[in-house]
Amino acid sequence: MSNPINTPAATKTTPGQVDVRGPRFTAWVTSGVLAGVLLASAISSALAAVLLGLQAAVFAVGAWGGPRRHPYGWVFRRLVSPRLGPVTATEPVPPLKFAQLVGLVFAVVGTAGFAAGIPGLGLAATGLALVAALLNAAFGICLGCQLYPLVARLRPGVSADPLVAS
């Protein structure tokens, strides 16, 4: 998992934290989109490039704006979250933003592969992104979040502790 902090008495999230169910919902939607890209690639590499390019834009919003500005996160907050019980666990935002950045890299590489007529590259990048999204969605294992502390140590002035906002 991406280090959720159990807060059973919590009823809402704090500014540096989000409800763990939001990123998992986002991962399910992302998994569906990426599976759609793989299916579309059997029809047309150009169609796959367009769909994956759109997902890359979604990843970019999540990487720079965080989960609260992420389009799928907006859907979760507006339509799904009100129908759920109170927040019982939260997780820090910086690792989630980094995970979106990792997804963006894979989506850009995959888009470039499909667009350049190298479908194997597009399929490989999309497949790896799909595996990562499914791990998060189904099991709560966020690979990007797991990598975050390792990469954060390499950046001067950024705390490797995901509880400290960067």
* Tens digits of residue pLDDT in 105-138: 999 999 999 999 999 999 999 999 999 999 999 9
Q: Would residue 166 count as lying in a domain?
A: no
Say if residue 7's pLDDT is above 60.
no
| Predicted pLDDT of residue 164 | 52
Q: How confident is the model at residue 163 (pLDDT cuts 50, 70, 90)?
A: low
Q: Which residue has the higher pLDDT, 114 or 3?
A: 114
Say if residue 166's pLDDT is above 50.
no
Q: Which range, 16-20, 65-69, 136-140, has the best average confidence (pLDDT)?
A: 136-140
> Following DSSP, what letter does each residue of the chain receive, concatenated?
----EE-TT-SS--TTEEETHHHHHHHHHHHHHHHHHHHHHTT-HHHHHHHHHHHHHHHHHHHHH-TTT-HHHHHIIIIIGGGS----EEEEHHHHHHHHHHHHHHHHHHHHHHHTT-HHHHHHHHHHHHHHHHHHHHH---HHHHHHHHHHTTSTT--S-TTS--
Say if residue 31's pLDDT is above 80.
yes
Residues 70 and 8 sit within 8 Å (Cβ to Cβ): no
Give the chain's domain count: 1
Residues 104 and 63 sit within 8 Å (Cβ to Cβ): yes
Q: How confident is the model at residue 29 (pLDDT cuts 50, 70, 90)?
A: very high
Q: Would residue 37 count as lying in a domain?
A: yes
Mean pLDDT of 46-58: 98
CA 12 to chain centre: 21
| Predicted pLDDT of residue 1 | 47
What is the span of the domain harbouring residue 61? 17-152
Say if residue 10's pLDDT is above 90.
no
Determine the Cα–Cα distance for residues 72 and 27; give it in Å rounded to an integer: 9
pTM, entire model: 0.83
Q: Which residue has the higher pLDDT, 5 or 89?
A: 89
Q: Would residue 157 count as lying in a domain?
A: no
Q: Would residue 7 count as lying in a domain?
A: no
Q: Would residue 11 count as lying in a domain?
A: no
Q: Would residue 5 count as lying in a domain?
A: no
| Predicted pLDDT of residue 2 | 47
Q: Would residue 12 count as lying in a domain?
A: no
| Predicted pLDDT of residue 157 | 66
Q: Would residue 61 count as lying in a domain?
A: yes
